[in-house]
Each structure stands twice: as C-alpha cells, then as structure tokens.
Amino acid sequence: MQNWGMHKSGWIMKTVLLVLLERYADWEAAYVSTAIHMLGQGRFEIKTVSLSKDAVTSIGGIQTMPDYTVETVPKDYEALLLIGGMRWREECTQRVIPLVEHCLQNGRVLGGICDAAAFLASIGVLNAVKHTGNRLSSLQEWQGTRYKGTVNFQSKQTVRDKNIITANGSATLEFVREVLIALHVTEETLIEDWYVLHKLGYYNTSSRNRFVQMMEE
C-alpha cells in the first residue's frame, strides 16, 4: 500500500467544499473528509463553508472555524457537499442557493445528505434527476417548496445521477462512496474495499480486502 496522505509532486491540488451549518452532522463531515484525504493521497484539500466566518458547532459539540462564507467561496473547486444537520429548514439557508447554482452551472459534483438533500429538493434542484432522501414525504412537506420530482424519487440509501449525489441520514458510508467515485479519488475497487471494511467491520471483512491486509502488515 502507498503512504496515505503523502503529496506527490506534479499533482494539482483539487478543492472540495463542505457546507456546514450550525448543529451540523460532524460524523458525515469526518467520514467524507478523511476518506478523500486518505484515498486521494494529498491530491485534494478540504475547505469548509458556512453563513459567516464565526465558528459553527456540530451536533456533537465540535466547533469548526469556516474557511469561507457562502459569499467568499473561490470559483475553482471540484465538489460542493452539503453536510446534514438541524438547520437546513431555516430561512437563512436561502443564502446557499447561489452557491448551489454556480456548482450546477459549472458541472461540478454536488452532494446533499439527510436534510441537506431535502434542502436541494426544496429549491427545485432534484426535479429532473434521480434522487433520494430521508423519505419522500419529507421532501414534499417544506413550505414554499419547488419540489416537483416525485417521479424521480428512489427509496435507496444513496443515489448518484448527473453529478448530483443524495443520501438519507443513515447512509453516510454510501454517500461517501459515491462522492469518492464521482471525484475519481482513486480506483473503484479500492473505494469498494474501503466501503466494505467500514460497513462490515474488520472481523467480517475478507482477508483479500486491501485495507485489511494493510492493517495486518
């Protein structure tokens, strides 16, 4: 196995943006950022975005100082990932819409998990793509919603369609797997090995899994 996290000279660093609101789901942010860093071997950097430069506190009490506000995000990035949390139904989230629109217009990877997926539905982003969420009714119940995508809803852990990735709140690992594949972070067989190990656990994973082999070296 190669030395995870080592930057190789000549690689161009690519940026992945995580949008974190107050009371965000820290485990979702931790899984996706760690997997991108480890499997990307230094080719990706993670930057955080929020509604202000003030620290945001996760559901678990972890404080994060955002790198950018939604108005100061750089134009050059590979993916915009909306991390789930308890505040996506509030009016202040409308300030995230221009950022989402820029992402879509420029063909970048867009992801939303848990209530962040419902937010994407509420602003009409999911109407023409296959998608999922916590449940169909949760996408339909937001007041003033522009959601018209009932026919494209799928009762799955996660769905990736046209560079848009959605997942329900219990699908952190599945969400991360689709993000890794969409960004071509590494070969898909290695991504699958990572997913299986974290999904099943060490003792239930085949000894042929490359991460198991690394742990046994």
Find the range with the poorest average confidence among 8-22, 72-86, 188-202: 8-22
DSSP state for residue 214 in the 8-state scheme: H
The per-residue pLDDT for range 194-210, each reduced to its tens digit, is: 999 999 999 999 999 99
Do 52 and 69 meet the contact criterion of CB atoms below 8 Å apart? yes
CATH number at residue 179: 3.40.50.880
Q: What is the pTM of this model?
A: 0.93
Is residue 93 in some structural domain?
yes
Residue 143: is its pLDDT beyond 80? no
User: With left for phi above 0 and alpha for psi between -120 and 50, is residue 201 left, alpha or beta?
Assistant: left
| CA gap 108, 123 in Å, rounded | 18
Do 49 and 78 meet the contact criterion of CB atoms below 8 Å apart? no
| CA gap 82, 186 in Å, rounded | 22
Is residue 102 in some structural domain?
yes
Residue 1: is its pLDDT beyond 60? no
Do 83 and 27 meet the contact criterion of CB atoms below 8 Å apart? no
At 9 the pLDDT is 52
The per-residue pLDDT for range 17-51, each reduced to its tens digit, is: 999 999 999 999 999 999 999 999 989 999 999 99
> How many domains does the chain contain in total?
1
For 190, the 3-state DSSP assignment is: helix
Do 56 and 26 meet the contact criterion of CB atoms below 8 Å apart? no
Give the chain's count of helices (H) and strands (E). Answer: 7, 9
Is residue 164 in some structural domain?
yes
Residue with token string 């602003």:
123
Q: For residue 207, count other CB atoms closer than 10 A to its CB.
A: 7
DSSP state for residue 13 in the 8-state scheme: P
At 141 the pLDDT is 83
Range of the domain at 67: 14-186
Say if residue 189 is exposed, middle or buried (CB neighbours under 10 Å; 0-12, 13-18, 19+). exposed
Q: Residue 187: which pLDDT band, with cuts at 50, 70 and 90?
A: very high
Is residue 45 in some structural domain?
yes
Is residue 23 in some structural domain?
yes
Do 165 and 175 meet the contact criterion of CB atoms below 8 Å apart? yes
CA of 51: how far to CAs of 20, 66, 80, 167, in Å? 8, 9, 15, 23
